[in-house]
């Protein structure tokens, strides 16, 4: 059914009635599969445990607002979100700064070993961060960064560099050469060219890199899990798991906590949907 409907649509023409109905049916079924777990989570947060057991998916008979209320009133909730925001903000800022500067150098300057240095950093694209996690942990410990925000921010930036430099260098190289020639002719040095011409003209690609590194940092779990041990510094991903560990028998509270912690991401996605989708997919395609 799906095959037939999609194959017809590949023709780019409108479908006949039956196929159109089948296609809509398939899409709605898939929508239900995607949304039911999310809706069950949101609604589950409004239930009492007893009702959750008897009626996991339906609307609550009695709306319990206190599950959500208590979490919203707790400092714990705001603290984990604040930590995540702080870590993500610094990660994005430093990723943009370090990778745009390096990308600019690689795009415009030829020097001994430049190719080698570029491929060296591009090596970072080849393997996941997890491969060297134990030595990374030792390194973070020896640098005295264990249990600190920097112990998460700096490695996150380091692991975003390969992708950031690749995307930005390609974009910087696409700016017309005449621009650089003209600027140089007028006595504008590289530094001013970078700040006044390159960066202002590269808004979209900088946004792409920012989106990728922000989402990566916001959702990161493994690195903070290994680096942090005091709960006051936990980002929301760790905070969520800690909360679940503490209230594992009270699913209604856990569900409310999940809902409230994924809410910022969902709101951000709904507001900046176009940029986020474009950023995450264009970044993948170009990278």
Partner 1 sequence: MTATPTSFVEPRRRLSLNGWAVILVFLPPAVLLFTVFVAMPMGEASWYSFFNWNGYGRPEKFIGLKNYGYLVGNNAFTRALINNGLIIIASLLVQLPLAMGVALMVAGRVTGAVWFRMIFFLPYVLADVAAGLIWRFMFDGETGIASAAAALIGMPPVFLLASKDWAFSAVIIVILWKYFGFHMMLYIAGLQGIDKSLLEAAEMDGATPVQRFWHITLPLLGPMIRLSIFFSVIGALQLFDVIVPLTGGGPFDTTNTLVSYLYYFGITRMRVGFGSAVGVVLFCICVAFAFGYKRWFMRDD
* Residues numbered 248-277 forming contacts with partner 1, rule: CB under 8 A: 251, 254-255, 258, 261-262, 265-266, 269-270, 273, 276-277
Count the alpha carbons within 13 Å of 110 in the hemisphere toward its beta carbon. Answer: 0
Return the residue of 62, 111, 119, 178 that touches partner 1, per CB under 8 A: 111
Distance CA(63)–CA(60), nearest Å, equals 6
185 burial level (CB within 10 Å; 0-12, 13-18, 19+) = exposed
Q: Which is nearer to partner 1, 70 or 181 (CB)?
A: 181
CB under 8 A: which stretch of 61-69, 73-81, 121-129, 201-209 binds partner 1? Answer: 121-129
Q: Give least dist CB 189 to partner 1, A.
A: 5
Return the residue of 18, 21, 27, 72 that touches partner 1, per CB under 8 A: 27
Distance CA(235)–CA(219), nearest Å, equals 9
Q: List % helix, strand, coil for the chain (3-state, nearest 5).
A: 80, 0, 20
Q: Give least dist CB 208 to partner 1, A.
A: 14
Which of 169, 219, 205 has its CA nearest to residue 282?
Answer: 205
Return the residue of 99, 198, 202, 213 that touches partner 1, per CB under 8 A: 99
Q: Which is nearer to partner 1, 92 or 226 (CB)?
A: 226
Residues 29-48 binding partner 1 (CB under 8 A) are: 30-31, 33-38, 40-41, 44
Tell me the per-residue interface mask from 179 to 218 with partner 1, x by CB under 8 A, - otherwise. Answer: --x--xx---xxx--x--------------------x--x
Q: b or e along 5-36 (b: 16 or more beta carbons within 10 Å of the residue's beta carbon)?
A: beebeeeeeebeeebeebbeeeeeeeeeeeee
Return the residue of 18, 21, 29, 53 that touches partner 1, per CB under 8 A: 53
- Kindly give, in sequence order, each residue whose CB lies less than 8 Å from that of residue 235, ignoring residues fewer than 6 positions away: 80, 83, 84, 87, 152, 218, 220, 224
Residue located via tokens 């239930």: 47
- Binding-site size, partner 1 (CB under 8 A): 106
CB 87 within 8 A of CB 153: yes
CB 163 within 8 A of CB 283: yes
> Is residue 116 a contact point for partner 1 (CB under 8 A)?
no
* Integer Rg of the chain from CA: 24
Tell me the per-residue interface mask from 146 to 185 with partner 1, x by CB under 8 A, - otherwise. Answer: --------xx-xxx-xx--x---------------x--xx
Q: Which is nearer to partner 1, 135 or 200 (CB)?
A: 135
Q: Which is nearer to partner 1, 44 or 202 (CB)?
A: 44
Residues 59-88 binding partner 1 (CB under 8 A) are: none
């Amino acid at each position: 059914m799906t095959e037939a409907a999609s194959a017809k649509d590949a023709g780019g023409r409108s479908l006949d009635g039956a196929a159109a109905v089948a296609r809509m049916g398939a899409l709605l079924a898939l929508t239900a599969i995607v949304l039911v777990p999310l809706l069950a989570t949101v609604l589950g947060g409004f239930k009492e445990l007893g009702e959750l057991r008897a009626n996991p998916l339906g609307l609550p008979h009695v709306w319990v607002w206190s599950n959500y209320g208590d979490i919203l009133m707790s400092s714990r909730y705001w603290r984990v979100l604040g930590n995540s925001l702080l870590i993500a903000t610094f990660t994005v800022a430093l990723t943009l700064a370090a990778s745009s500067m390096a990308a600019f150098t690689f795009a415009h300057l030829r020097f001994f070993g430049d190719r080698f240095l570029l491929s060296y950093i591009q090596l970072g694209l080849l393997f996941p961060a997890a491969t060297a996690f134990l030595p990374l942990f030792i390194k973070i410990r020896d640098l005295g960064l264990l249990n600190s925000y920097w112990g998460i921010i700096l490695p996150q930036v380091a692991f975003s560099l390969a992708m950031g430099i690749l995307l930005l260098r390609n974009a910087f190289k696409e700016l017309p050469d005449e621009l650089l020639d003209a600027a140089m002719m007028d006595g504008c040095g590289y530094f001013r060219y970078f700040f006044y011409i390159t960066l202002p003209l590269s808004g979209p690609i900088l946004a792409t890199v920012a989106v990728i590194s922000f989402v990566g940092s916001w959702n990161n779990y493994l690195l903070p899990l290994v680096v942090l041990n005091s709960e006051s510094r936990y980002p929301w991903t760790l905070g969520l798991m800690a909360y679940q560990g503490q209230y594992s028998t009270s699913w209604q509270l856990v569900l409310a906590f999940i809902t409230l912690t994924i809410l910022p991401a969902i709101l951000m996605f709904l507001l900046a949907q176009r940029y986020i989708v474009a950023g995450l997919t264009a970044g993948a395609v170009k990278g």
